[in-house]
Amino acid sequence: MPDHLHCIWKLPENDVDFSTRWSSIKAVFSREYLKRGGADGIKTQSQNKHREAAIWQRRFWEHLIKDENDLDRHIKYIHYNPVKHGLVSDVEDWPWSTYHKYKQQIVCNFADVAVAGEFDRVEIFGE
């Protein structure tokens, strides 16, 4: 996605340290992005004070997967997200999606899910 990303992680048992991981991902990406000529956004006073790039939003949304059903819903949501945001008309058209690898393992019918309104019930996923 051009302005955000989604991921599903399996962390070590009893480890819920999402913050450190996101901080590391954002720091490494931001350094490389800016070094290669990427544009920094308009910085707030706080971003200047903390020497932060204006590339990422500060917050993130985390959710502990409850069961296989919940995992399946989240995977489908992530795969459908480029369609939801109007970037492509079909899940298969988003070249950076893990859907291409996923579809080789599991058959999903996103059209039926979307028509059934499945994604209307999961709008809280960080947007």
* Contact status, residue 83 vs residue 114, Cβ threshold 8 Å: yes
Q: Please state, rounded to an integer, the average pLDDT across all residues of the chain.
A: 81
In a shared domain, residues 47 and 89 = no
89 plus 47 within the same structural domain: no
Residue 83 lies in a domain: yes
Q: How many domains does the chain have?
A: 2
pTM over 0.85: no
Residue 44 resides in a domain: yes
**Tell me: the pLDDT tens digits for 25-47?**
888 988 899 899 988 888 889 88
Q: Which domain holds residue 103?
A: 68-122
CA distance 45 to 52: 10
